[in-house]
Amino acid sequence: MSVCDTCGNDYEQTFTLSFGNDSWTFDSFECAIHKAAPTCEHCGCRILGHGVHDGQALFCCSHCAREAGHTEATDDKGGIR
């Protein structure tokens, strides 16, 4: 059995997530999200999808990017904002 790196639960069906040089053990996707998912720079929520990038800045959606001053951000690559 392995111990979850987020909650400390000792569980027989853990999984390992690796990103770059980091590796963590989790007992659920919920714990993996809390530990590994990036955070929106505007609202602070965890980003579970692709997000919106502007250089090094990462946002959960174009609304948050625009609120943070990235006025050209859009979720729709070819359409109207």
Does this model's pTM top 0.85? My answer is: no
In angstroms, the CA 34 to CA 12 distance is: 20
- 60 and 78 assigned to the same domain: yes
- 54 and 30 assigned to the same domain: no
Domain limits for position 44: 37-81
In angstroms, the CA 26 to CA 79 distance is: 39
The domain total for the chain is 2
- 24 and 57 assigned to the same domain: no
In angstroms, the CA 16 to CA 27 distance is: 9
Res 77: pLDDT: 57
Res 64: pLDDT: 93
Do residues 60 and 52 make contact, with C-beta atoms less than 8 angstroms apart?
A: yes
- 42 and 79 assigned to the same domain: yes
What value does the mean pLDDT take over residues 57-67? 91
What value does the mean pLDDT take over residues 27-39? 94
- 42 and 80 assigned to the same domain: yes
